[in-house]
Amino acid sequence: MSVVILKDEIVHYEVLGRGRPIIFLHGWVGSWRYWIPTMQAASTGFRTYAIDLWGFGDTAKNSANYTLGQQVDLLDLFLGELGIGKIALVGHGLGAVISLLYAARFPNTVDRLMLTSLPTAGHPVNPRLFGATPGELADWLLDPDIVNEAVRLEAPKTDMRAIQTSLRESVDSNLFRVCVELLTPCLMIYGQDDPAVMAENPEPTDTYPANIHQVYFEQCGHFPMLEENSKFNRLMADFLSLESGESPRQLQLKEEWRRRVR
């Protein structure tokens, strides 16, 4: 287990591979651990890092650090402590929110963004996320047919206050506006059957600038990286292989994954 001390508190992370750095940030349910299959796939050409955010996994539990701003600061301090420069960010749920806000604050540091289950006005969060325990959320969101013990075992480590504080801020923030003003190439992934971050009235693709592209995984829930691991990893590889600054709309339709442009 690798740790750094930030703000006099323990922050847990893991690292695999060599090459350009990619940072993986987990969502509201689970920890760094469910990124392992994706990290392994990417580690053949990249140096992959996965962090436990404040209040999750084996990182310190201190409610003063649970705001979105403090979580963004964690990422900034982590990069500074390890001397990591330009990065790609891959975030899910809460991790997608933190990745987006970090890229908006530090646009020269982030080369590209891959955001899964990002809540926006068209993709609202289910109110059930606010009241259930982390274990109950894991049972609700996990596909019983998918190997997902990493989420189930790690969920009870979560401080519920970390979920609730960041959820409230995410709901109250205009994340769609942040996306529209973003200059970084950004690929947005949604599970069409996600019960947590729902596709109630998704924003049409043409409301986003050309640097943003949306992809929907059909018959997929909240964890596309687990439920559709091969598709997710191939799409991630295609996105990461684009030239720096190139729009993700240059990605070509492939049989292995389907995109829906609204």
pLDDT value for 252? 57
* Chain segment 196-246, per-residue pLDDT in tens: 999 888 988 889 999 999 999 999 999 999 999 999 999 999 999 998 888
Question: From CA 55, how far away is CA 221, in angstroms rounded?
Answer: 24
Q: What is the C-alpha to C-alpha distance for residues 76 and 58, in angstroms, rounded to an integer? A: 19
Reported as a single tens digit per residue, the pLDDT across 243-259 is: 888 889 877 545 444 44
The class level of CATH for 2-250 reads alpha beta
pTM for the whole thing?
Answer: 0.94
Domain boundaries, the chain: 2-250
pLDDT score of 254: 54
- In this predicted structure, what is the pLDDT of residue 256? 46
Helix axis angle, 160-172 to 134-141, nearest 10°: 70
Confidence check: pLDDT of 131 > 60: yes
Task: Tell whether the model's pLDDT for residue 108 goes beyond 60.
Answer: yes
